Structures are given as C-alpha cells and as structure tokens.
Amino acid sequence: MSAEDREQAVLAVARRALKLPDSPSAIGASLPPLRFDAVLRAPANPAFAAGDEFAMDLMRDFALCRLFSPKDGRP
C-alpha cells in the first residue's frame, strides 16, 4: 500500500469523526495495515459506529492537523 493510500484512508476516518457532509468512506484494503500499525482500531460497538476509529487520541490529533493544514504550507 502506498503512503498516499494510507494518508487518504486516515483523512477519510478524520472527516467521518468530524461528521463532515462530504466524508468519503475509507478504502477497505487500506484498513488492515493501518490496524496492524495501531493507527486505527475496529469500533468498540460496530452497531453504533460508522467504521474504524483511531486507536489513540494522538493519532486522531495528527490526522486532524493534517486535514486542517493547507496543501501549500501557507496559513
């Protein structure tokens, strides 16, 4: 899996955590490696969850920072 695929999957989970209207679903093939690396985890209660969750608050914070940072690096 490429770094770009991993980034897009993590950003999709971050968008879903914020309940943004344009939240794409995470790519299914990218989820198992991210679970193995302890970035994501399966939801505690799948009946009430929309999908995988961040394994740690720190991972969620990094993903949200990346989501809100501009692409060109300028504020």
Q: What are the tens digits of pLDDT across the range 2-11?
A: 888 888 889 8
pLDDT at site 61: 93
pLDDT at site 36: 92
Q: What is the model's pTM?
A: 0.80
What are the residues facing 54 on neighbouring strands?
A: 40
pLDDT at site 26: 66
DSSP assignment letter at 71: T
Would you say 40 and 12 are in contact if contact means Cβ atoms under 8 Å apart? no
Query: What confidence tens digit (pLDDT) does each residue in 11-60 have?
Result: 888 988 888 887 777 667 778 889 999 999 988 888 887 788 999 999 99
Q: What are the CA-CA distances from residue 69 to residues 11, 39, 66 (Å)?
A: 12, 20, 5
DSSP reduced 3-state for 41: strand
pLDDT at site 22: 75
